[in-house]
Amino acid sequence: MTQGIVRVLPMARTDKCIMLQTRYKGRLPQGLSYPLGLQDLDKVLGDIPHAADLHVRFSNDPLGMRFRSSLRQDLPHRVLAARFEKWDKRPSLGNSTFTDGYVRGQWSITVYPVASVRRAQARHLLIDALPFIREWFSRTRPESWYYGEKLCEVRFDPLEGTIAVTDIVEKI
């Protein structure tokens, strides 16, 4: 039983089936739109090595007031984040299903909203940036890379009409 998640959905242009699953999709207020959907992501990321385990989220309020202010002023802002997180097991974490995923290592991708009037512009640029995200997810890396939090961030600058992809290494 799939517990409410559709695992296989034929795509119109190919015989490929969607493997990616949405783990969370927040409802957006009027004036905001997601620049990409699950099918857009699956076309490029559906066959990466860990696609079946990839957590796909659509965040409805990524940074609160600061984010909304950036949107109103057409300032550059995050529109997509690819992430890998692996925690060191500590006694304070316990043994829950939630913490077990992070102790083993968890891959995720989060899509953030844009102003609805900027959706088409952001979508066009993001479609072109997805191969870079695919490459980030598919890289061969040393074992030491798989600890802490790693992030590949995509920022959209609506006034310049550009996307910037940045590889960020963070520590938990």
Q: 103-115, pLDDT tens digit by residue? A: 667 899 999 999 9
Q: Residue 13 pLDDT > 70, yes or no?
A: no
Rounded Cα distance between 101 and 138, Å, is 20
Q: How far is Cα 42 from Cα 30, in angstroms, rounded to an integer? A: 26
Q: Is 58 helix (H, G, I), strand (E, B) or coil?
A: strand
Say what the pLDDT of residue 6 is.
32
pLDDT at 2: 33
Burial class (CB in 10 A: 0-12, 13-18, 19+), 166: exposed
Percent of the chain clearing pLDDT 70 (strictly above): 74
Instruction: Look at 129 and 71; give whichever has higher pLDDT.
Output: 129
Give 83 or 18, the one with higher predicted confidence.
83
pLDDT of 7 reads: 32
